[in-house]
């Protein structure tokens, strides 16, 4: 019974959605500051945050680094096509990717290639080493194309909760 309750989605109200939107923007807010912004007292606000965490709606709190001030770097995108398309081929490749710290995101894509991977490297030589390591790992890569990111126009991890809910309501009518 406990597993069944834990797997059910939480019922969220307007205040829960406000909390999620605010902590996406600034997870360092104290509970008192968060409570003030949403118009609750501190204790019920903390209970709601803990419920959202327990329900796995909030899974982590992270710092966003200013890499420009830290180290020279290069973002690239790799299109990867596998030689074979059996379940074990996908699993083997994905297991490899999960162990590569420079591969920041990896998505299975529909279309002309299999995966789109966002890679960070210090320079072209480092990027080449990452590519070579992938081919030498014998994880079923047939081919890949790499695109260098010249300029990042938008890079956010914030989910537009209000916009998604509004769109969902429009399509449900």
Q: Say if residue 44 is in the same domain as residue 73.
A: no
Q: Is the dihedral of CA 58, 62, 68, 71 positive or negative?
A: negative
Task: Write out pLDDT tens, residues 21-77.
Answer: 999 999 999 999 999 999 999 999 999 999 999 999 999 999 889 998 999 999 999
Task: Write out pLDDT tens, residues 128-156.
Answer: 999 999 999 999 999 999 999 999 999 98
Q: Report residue 145 as tokens.
A: 């194309």
Length of the chain: 173
Q: How far is CA 79 from CA 76, 92, 112, in A?
A: 10, 17, 9
Dist. CA 121–CA 83, nearest whole Å = 26
Q: Say if residue 78 is in the same domain as residue 144.
A: yes
Domain total for the chain? 2
Q: Say if residue 72 is in the same domain as residue 50.
A: no
Confidence of residue 94 (pLDDT cuts 50, 70, 90): very high
Q: Is the pLDDT of residue 3 over 70?
A: no
Structural domain of 43 = 2-54
Q: Is residue 73 part of a domain?
A: yes
Q: Is the pLDDT of residue 4 over 70?
A: no
Q: Say if residue 88 is in the same domain as residue 123.
A: yes
Cβ proximity of 130 and 118 under 8 Å: no
pTM for the whole structure: 0.82
């Amino acid at each position: 019974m406990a597993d069944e309750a834990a797997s059910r989605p939480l019922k969220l109200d307007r205040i829960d959605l406000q909390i999620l939107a605010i902590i996406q923007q600034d997870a360092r807010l104290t509970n008192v500051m968060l409570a003030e912004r949403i118009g609750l007292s501190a204790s019920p606000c903390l209970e709601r945050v803990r419920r959202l965490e327990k329900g796995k709606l909030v899974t982590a709190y992270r710092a966003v680094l200013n890499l420009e001030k830290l180290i020279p770097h290069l973002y690239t995108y790799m299109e990867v096509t596998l030689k074979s398309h059996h379940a074990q081929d996908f699993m083997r490749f994905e297991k490899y990717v999960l162990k590569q710290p420079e591969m920041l995101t990896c998505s299975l894509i529909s279309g002309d290639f299999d995966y789109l991977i966002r890679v960070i490297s210090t320079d072209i030589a480092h990027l080449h080493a990452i590519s070579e390591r992938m081919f030498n790992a014998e994880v079923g890569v047939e081919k890949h194309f790499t695109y260098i990111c010249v300029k990042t126009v938008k890079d956010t991890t914030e989910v537009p909760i209000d916009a998604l809910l509004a769109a969902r309501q429009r399509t449900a009518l």
